[in-house]
Amino acid sequence: MNDDDLLAMVRQSFTGLRSTTPVEKILRHGRTVKARRRLPVLTGALAGVAGAALAITIVLPGGRPPGPQPATSPTAELAAWTVTRQPDGTIKVTVRELRDPAGLQSLLRADGVPASVTLSGQENPSCRPYLADPGLQDKVVTPTMEFVRPPSGTPGPDPYSGLVLVLVIHPSALPRGVGLQFATGLSQSVTAGGVHNTQSTHLDLVYASPQCTGSAA
């Protein structure tokens, strides 16, 4: 199979994925957009409504069997996640399930990252959001997904068993007095294939303090 065949196979697999929005709905919304531009006084309020409509929580698969651990050292491991300090000074957090938030919090703090890790809705009230630099969070944390091959080298019955969330933390990008707040929550979503357990992870920059992140550094 050459590259063109491979790409053709990938493209073919998407044939069934189609837009479900009728053109009439797009036209109606387009007219609203046009009208909004003509009414600058109302723009803020309408944009607020549009923003709320787009506020969809993005989730990752949960409740799936954990895949193999990366063979990087030194590594601190728990069943649900892995924390690895990398040679370039970054800290790689591989998340399978965010159980035991206190354990993850301890490990991050031990690695020098001022952090507060809780379940969603149980965020530490001592933590105050750091809003001074809106672009800073992108520099401090790089979220991505990694596909980890099963130990046998052949795919298992669950196609997602090797797909994990990876957060790379750049401690050097954290200004003095700023820390990280992680909050995670579980939810369920229903699709044609059944009920999926899903987990959303929220990140925030916060002012570091002994009460919030364990240190003021």
Partner 1 sequence: MGSQQRDFAEFYRESCDDCLRTVVVSVGNRDTAQDLVDEAFARAFASWRTVSGHPAPAAWVVRTALNANISRWRRRRREVPVPDPGLLADPAAVEGAAAGLVEPRIMAALLGLPARQRQVVALRLFLDLDTGRTAEVLGIAPSTVKAHLARAVAALRDLIPIPHEEIPS
Q: Are 116 and 105 in contact (CB under 8 A)?
A: yes
186 scored as a contact of partner 1 (CB under 8 A)? no
By the 8 A CB rule, do 202 and 183 touch? yes
34 binds partner 1 (CB under 8 A): yes
Decide: is 52 part of the binding site for partner 1 (CB under 8 A): no
Site membership for partner 1, residue 194 (CB under 8 A):
yes
Q: Where are the alpha helices (DSSP H) in 57-171?
A: 101-110, 136-140
Among 39, 42, 45, 57, binds partner 1 (CB under 8 A): 57
Q: Which residues contact 184 (CB under 8 A, 6 or more apart)?
A: 98, 101, 118, 119, 120, 199, 200, 201, 202
Report the C-alpha gap between 83 and 66 in whole angstroms: 15
Contact 116, 124 (CB under 8 A): yes
Of 12 and 73, nearer to partner 1 (C-beta) is: 12
Contact residue for partner 1 among 76, 119, 163, 216 (CB under 8 A): 163
Site string for partner 1, 116-155 (x = CB under 8 A): ------------------xx-x-----xxxxx-------x
Q: At its nearest, how many Å lie between partner 1 and the CB of residue 163?
A: 5
Q: Please give the Cα distance from 87 to 163 (Å, whole number).
A: 24
Angstrom distance (rounded) from CA 9 to CA 4? 9
Least distance (Å) from partner 1 to the CB of residue 169?
A: 12
Q: How many CA atoms lie within 13 A of 138 on its CB side?
A: 3
Identified binder of partner 1 from the candidate list 11, 40, 44, 121, rule CB under 8 A: 11
Q: Which residues bind partner 1 (CB under 8 A)?
A: 1, 3, 6-7, 9-11, 13-14, 16-21, 23, 25-27, 29-34, 37, 50-51, 53-61, 134-135, 137, 143-147, 155, 159-160, 162-163, 165, 167, 183, 189, 191-194, 196, 198, 200-204
